[in-house]
Structure 1
Amino acid sequence: MARKLYTSGEIADLLGVTRQRALQLVNDRRQDFPQPFDTLPGGVQVWLREDVDAWVAQHRPPLDEDPEGE
C-alpha cells in the first residue's frame, strides 16, 4: 500500500497560508507539528497525511466556525 504524503507546499495549500508560513509552522517545535516522515532527494521533506490531518483537526478550527463563538 502506498503511503499518502504531503509536501510543505501541499500543507500550505491545506492550511490556506503561504509556503513560508507553512515552513515556519512545521519547523516551530512550539506548534507540536508532526515530524517529517522522510526527506527525499534534494532535501524535500514529506509528512504522513494522517499525521498532518490529525494535527489540523486538533489545532485549527474549521473555516466555517466562528473563532469567537458568535
Structure 2
Amino acid sequence: MGAHEIRVRLGGISRQRVYQLTSRADFPAPVADLVQGKVWMTSDVEEWITAHRRA
C-alpha cells in the first residue's frame, strides 16, 4: 500500500496528513522505499487504522 492508497483508505486526507501519520513512531515501518515512494504492508496499515480510529 502506497501513500495514495492510505489517503484513499482514510477518506481522502491530504498528502501532508499522510506524511504526518506515516512519520509517527507508532506507524508501521515501510517494507520498501521505492523511487515512487514508500510502501507498507496493507495488513499492517489496516491494523494500525483499526487501533487508532476514532470511535
Residues paired across the two proteins, number: 54
The corresponding residue for 1:21 is: 17
Q: Partner of 1:11: helix, strand, or coil?
A: helix
Q: Which of the two has higher C-alpha Rg?
A: 1
Unmatched segments (≥5 aa) in structure 2: none
Give the corresponding residue for 2:28. Answer: 34
Q: CA RMSD in A?
A: 1.3
Distance in 2 between residues matched to 1:12 and 1:53, nearest whole Å: 12
Please give the TM-score of this superposition, normalised by the length of structure 1.
Answer: 0.69
Residue identity over aligned pairs, in percent, reads 39
Structure possessing the higher relative contact order (Cα contacts under 8 Å, 6 or more residues apart):
2
Taking structure 2 as the reference length, the TM-score comes to: 0.85
